[in-house]
Amino acid sequence: QVTLRESGPALVKPTQTLTLTCTFSGFSLSTSGMCVSWIRQPPGKALEWLALIDWDDDKYYSTSLKTRLTISKDTSKNQVVLTMTNMDPVDTATYYCARTGGYSYFDYWGQGTLVTVSS
Amino acid sequence: SYVLTQPPSVSVAPGQTARITCGGNNIGSKSVHWYQQKPGQAPVLVVYDDSDRPSGIPERFSGSNSGNTATLTISRVEAGDEADYYCQVWDSSSDHRYVVFGGGTKLTVL
């Protein structure tokens, strides 16, 4: 079955760089059509899409955050990594990774990981 | 950038029908997907491609999309349907693609 799991620090300081890893199983990111995205949700607020990487290593970013984001994949390890630079308290959120089959709907989600930005 | 507008809240009595709207410019030309999110949990897909249901989602959940409004309809609402619901589409411009989520609607079962 398909599973995704996010991992990374629970606490980062302002101005630091956040690195999150999504480790997945049950599918391969080298399979045509497969994509993995990062999505975040500040406490009590709406979902916000951050970035996507596809099977062909094409990458797409949120327009408002693209200068701070980098997404990459390690197909051999079944991992997708997101880095976000210059973290700020407003970036405090639960960060999810999720799969799409093509540019469509998110059919599988990780459980999410809460990242708090505080000094 | 493309904007999806949802009502912040919808309230309905058990057994009644809930309708949650998602407004966007010519949204009828896009595929709309809907997610249910309960407190402390990850979102779950309940409707995709406007009106299809993933396996395991009750037939009570249905969707439609036309013009500038997409609608998620939940028939015979149950207490367990109380949750936040989000619509989602893809948009593109030149060589860029991006995902858009609506602001979410809190469904309260009275």
Planar angle of CA B76, B80, B84, nearest 5 degrees:
100
H helices present in A29-88, as ranges = none
Alpha carbon distance A83, A94 (integer Å) = 15
Integer angstrom CA distances of residue A90 from A82, A94, B91: 18, 12, 25
Q: Residue A47: its chain B contacts at CB < 8 A?
A: 35, 37, 43, 86, 88, 101, 104
Nearest beta carbon to residue A60 from set B37, B86, B98: B98
Alpha carbon distance B77, A60 (integer Å) = 38
H helices present in B1-110, as ranges = none
| pLDDT-based confidence at residue B95 (cuts at 50, 70, 90) | confident
Residue range B66-71: average pLDDT? 98
Q: Which of residues 69-108 of B touch A (CB under 8 A)?
A: 86, 88, 90, 96-104
- The pLDDT score that the predictor gives to residue A62 is 94
Closest chain A residue to B39 measured between Cα atoms? A44
The alpha carbon of residue A27 and the mean position of all alpha carbons in its chain are separated, in whole angstroms, by 17
pLDDT digits (tens, 9 = 90+) for A82-107: 999 999 999 999 999 999 988 899 99
Alpha carbon distance A30, A80 (integer Å) = 12
Residue whose pair of structure tokens reads 């996507």 in the numeric block: A52
Question: pLDDT digit of tens for each residue in chain A (119 aa)?
Answer: 999 999 999 999 999 999 999 999 999 999 999 999 999 999 999 999 999 999 999 999 999 999 999 999 999 999 999 999 999 999 999 999 999 988 899 999 999 999 999 99
Taking the alpha carbons of B48, A97, B4, B19 in that order, is the dihedral positive or negative?
A: positive
Q: Residue A52: its chain B contacts at CB < 8 A?
A: 97, 99
- The pLDDT score that the predictor gives to residue B78 is 97
